[in-house]
Structure 1
């Protein structure tokens, strides 16, 4: 594992990414404390492209009435009767 300060990472970002592509790990320090680890994609603990729950597709609610009429048909009938 390569460990380097943030200023050095900024100066050599491309070279550090080359190391990561070859399977090595790079730890970045800020003020002497570790703030990030660059690891190859296969080693990542979480999937990178994880879709938030609120963006996941949902199944629309399917209600079936005993008489087979849809909600749209019920609204049209009510409008015709009440208007």
Structure 2
């Protein structure tokens, strides 16, 4: 991993991108603290192997059965018709 300050990165951005293109990671520092990392882009084959994020995974809808047998939609309609 290559580590350099922001000013050094600005002066050598093209060279740093060449390193990243070859598979190296470049960490950029501002006032001595890491603020960014440039990493190589993963290929389509690598991305296809990882599972989808949790928000994209299928799920079963929640089914709540009330004692009176009414659905949530029916309760909302009744409340609206009640004229709060």
Q: What is the TM-score when the length of structure 2 is the normalising length?
A: 0.50
Number of residue-to-residue matches in the alignment: 44
Deviation sequence 1:44-82 (CA, Å, 0-9, x none): xxx8xxxxxxxxxxxxxxxxxxxxxxxxxxxxxxxxxxx
Cα shift at 1:12: 0.1
Aligned 1:35-74 pairs, distance under 5 A? 35-42=35-42
Which 5+ residue runs of structure 2 have no aligned equivalent? 48-84
Residue 41 of structure 1 aligns to a residue whose secondary structure is coil
Structure showing greater radius of gyration is 1
RMSD between aligned residues: 1.7
Distance 1:24 1:32 in 2: 21
Residue 24 of structure 2 aligns to a residue whose secondary structure is coil
Specify the alignment match of 1:31 in structure 2. Answer: 31
Distance 1:29 1:20 in 2: 16
Distance 1:31 1:15 in 2: 22
